A and B are shown apart, each in its own frame.
Chain A
Amino acid sequence: MSQFADSEGSVLRALQAIQETFGYVPDEALDTVAEVCNVSRAEVYGVFTYYSDLRSTLPAPNVVRVCIAEACQASGSDSLVAAIRAELGLDVHAKSRSGETEIAPVFCLGNCALGPAALVNDRLLGRTTVAKIRAALGDPR
């Protein structure tokens, strides 16, 4: 944390570093960041809530993000979302979680010519199917 103390504009980076370490930003960490960066807790909280990447709960062991932006819509992301609901019992739009896996929508992964795209943990998928998601989750059923 101390690396952020004398560095200008470090609230966001401090929060990102905490999330990288713990997988989320625990509530107490907001106080720590406020103290280290010498700003109010309210200010830290404002930054924390602004960015959709930052989260207040521990993620599931597997995180799947499915692109629902225009280019993937054109390539059938709606059908993929429906298939994920039918076969994996997960609702992309509702950011749902089941057992070891949580799922959430994302606006663009930069794989727009090979849609629909998804990110399974840090692994990017193209021409994504439920079977490919399963395989990336280590369930080659």
Chain B
Amino acid sequence: MSGSTTVYVPRDAAALSVGAEEIAKRVEDEARKRGKAVEIVRNGSRGALWLEPLVEVSTANGRVGYGPVAPEDVTSLFDAGFLDGAHHQLSLGVVDDHEWFAKQDRLTFARVGVVDPLSVSDYEAHGGLVALRKALTMDPQAIIDEVGASGLRGRGGAGFPAGIKWQTALQAQVGQKYICCNADEGDSGTFADRMLMEGDPFALIEGMAIAGLAVGATQGLIYVRSEYPHAIGALRAAVLLAAESAILGRDVLGSGRVFEVEVRVGAGSYVCGEETAMLESLEGKRGVVRAKPPLPAVEGLFGKPTVVNNVMTLASVPWIISHGASAYRDRGAGRSRGTQVFQLAGNVARGGIVELALGVPLRDLVDGFGGGTRTGRPVKTAQVGGPLGAYLPSSAFDVPMDYESLLAIGAMLGHGGIVVFDDSVNMAKQARFAMEFCAEESCGKCTPCRIGSVRGVETIDKIVAGERRRENLELLLDLCEVMTEGSLCAMGGLTPLPVKSALDHFPEDFGIESVEGSTRGATA
């Protein structure tokens, strides 16, 4: 066949960060030089960030991958005949059959890296809009029942059941309601929201529209952090395209129903990821946390009922509606149903997106998919669940990654980020950083968070310096307790988690033998 060959070169920010733009340019130039007709599609990333830039070629057998491709590899790829899927030293074979992908269970991320992110027709060809069309024929209560029955819980960190939140908003008898998508993704070690917004933005838009139909909201807002310029660009373009295709607007898919989406950009504040601080910020104010109640679902943005959900939560909804609640609920463990989009980050050999049913052992992720550290040194610890998550020693890696199992060992799932460290890390330094981060990002409303974190930094310094170690250790534990008990939100309330887990599991890094042996047994 003499038609043109489709070549995929990602435009995902992470792929661009290691040279994907240059690869796209070289493929285009080389093809022109050789008189080959190619159509270059700028897809999202498949999530195997360790293979980026990952170039794929569409063949009769499927999409054949090559990676990581350096600019100087492009000529030899053409020489080898990669346009026909021929072998080259960077060959990965048919990408869907590659074990790193084949072993995953991609629902929320099914289209990310596969489709052209800004093509509505590609979106539809891969199952897009099926759910929205279905939802338009459903009763609001039926949509909420379906989401509730799926067991979907908030993926932003707190794990609150999505169906219950939606029910609360539905029951509020108020005209104007809002759907606010939390795309602030401030946790270090997390990038799933970013990759979905860049790689499959219509999935988020469709999920928001379904949420709007379910609770009776006609206006959606996406609060995306300013550190994500590529995602902001993709979302803005997708919202325009969705409006042109009547996925959004005054007449959603010809139904006469209304749903519009506006993209709003944050301004560099971690606490603005906390839902009520986000609402304050969306109202144009300082992003200070509000006391709850009232819940946002009752009194949220401008005092109106507001559903605040994470990107992953909302983007999972179309799959649930189109495949049915039970297909989602059939996956998972205990009260943690469905899949989690895990993010392998830090010092890891094969970092990226691993979507699997909740309950997979942490070890399978770090050692299995991740392949251990990138430096080749032993894994010392992984911080699970972002900056407010616990540092777990490798001896604890058999823990199933679900909400309850992690809670049982004093950890939390958070947004599903896993940051791997090798044995060169000093845990007193990490604990200090957790306190420093809290001091820097505190919204200032609660004294334990604002002042306790500053004292925490000083106290850790004293412990490490060997200054009145026992007293200072007790002071640190007291500070942790006061922060846990006396903070309005998880910023101050959970900062003790990384600090205490570092202390408990790695006391030697603080210059002590064990926490109990070094205090009068004051620790719980």
Contact = CB atoms under 8 A, between A and B. Distances in A.
A69 B387 contact: yes
A124 to B, nearest CB: 4
A82 interface: no
B50 to A, nearest CB: 7
Contacts of A32: none
A114 B185 contact: no
Contacts of B230: 124
A9 B18 contact: no
Interface in A1-37: 8-14, 16, 37
Contact of B191 (A11, A53, A73, A110): A110
B191 A70 contact: no
B313 interface: no
A122 interface: yes
Given A50-B269, A70-B387, A74-B419, A107 B188 contact: yes
A71 interface: yes
A70 B147 CA distance: 34
A108 B50 contact: no
B284 interface: yes
Interface string B491-513: 00000000000000000000000
B189 interface: yes
B188 A52 contact: no
Contacts of B344: 113
B306 to A, nearest CB: 13
A35 B331 CA distance: 55
**What range describes how many residues of A lie at the interface?**
35 or more
B456 interface: no
Interface string B416-438: 01011110010000100100010
A125 to B, nearest CB: 5
Contact of A74 (B281, B285, B347): B347
Interface residues of B, number: 60
B343 interface: yes
Interface in B165-209: 185-191, 194
Contacts of A125: 17
A69 B351 CA distance: 17
B196 to A, nearest CB: 11
B25 to A, nearest CB: 15
Contact of B346 (A14, A71, A119): A71
Contacts of B49: 113-114
B226 A53 contact: yes
B387 A112 contact: no
A74 B18 CA distance: 18
A51 B284 contact: no
A101 interface: no
B227 interface: yes
Contact of B421 (A16, A47, A74, A114): A74
B267 interface: yes
A111 interface: yes
Interface string B424-458: 01000010010001001100000000000000000
Contact of A110 (B50, B194, B425): B194
Nearest to A7: B284
B17 A117 contact: yes
B345 interface: yes
B284 A10 contact: yes
Interface string A99-140: 000000011111111110101001111110000000000000
A115 B345 contact: yes
B383 A70 contact: yes
B378 interface: no
A75 B347 CA distance: 5
B297 interface: no
B287 interface: yes
Interface in B223-242: 226-231
B179 to A, nearest CB: 16
A107 B161 CA distance: 29
A125 B230 CA distance: 13
A113 B191 contact: yes
A79 B268 CA distance: 25
A47 B284 contact: yes
A92 interface: no
B152 interface: no
A80 interface: no
B348 interface: yes
B24 interface: no
A46 interface: yes
Contacts of B374: 75
Contacts of B186: 107-108
B17 A113 contact: no
B313 to A, nearest CB: 18
A110 B185 contact: yes
A60 B362 CA distance: 44
Nearest to A10: B284
A110 B267 contact: no
Given A50-B269, A52-B267, A110-B190, A12 B345 contact: no
Nearest first, the 7 A-B pairs at minimum CB distance are A113-B351, A74-B346, A69-B188, A126-B17, A51-B267, A112-B345, A9-B284
Interface of A: 8-14, 16, 37, 46-47, 50-54, 67, 69-75, 106-115, 117, 119, 122-127
23 contacts: A9-B282, A9-B283, A11-B284, A16-B267, A47-B284, A50-B269, A53-B266, A69-B188, A71-B188, A72-B346, A73-B346, A73-B433, A74-B422, A74-B425, A108-B186, A108-B187, A109-B227, A113-B14, A113-B50, A113-B348, A115-B346, A124-B14, A127-B17
Given A53-B266, A72-B346, A110-B231, 17 more contacts: A12-B284, A14-B284, A53-B268, A69-B387, A70-B189, A71-B188, A71-B346, A75-B346, A75-B347, A75-B374, A110-B14, A111-B17, A111-B191, A112-B191, A113-B14, A114-B49, A125-B17
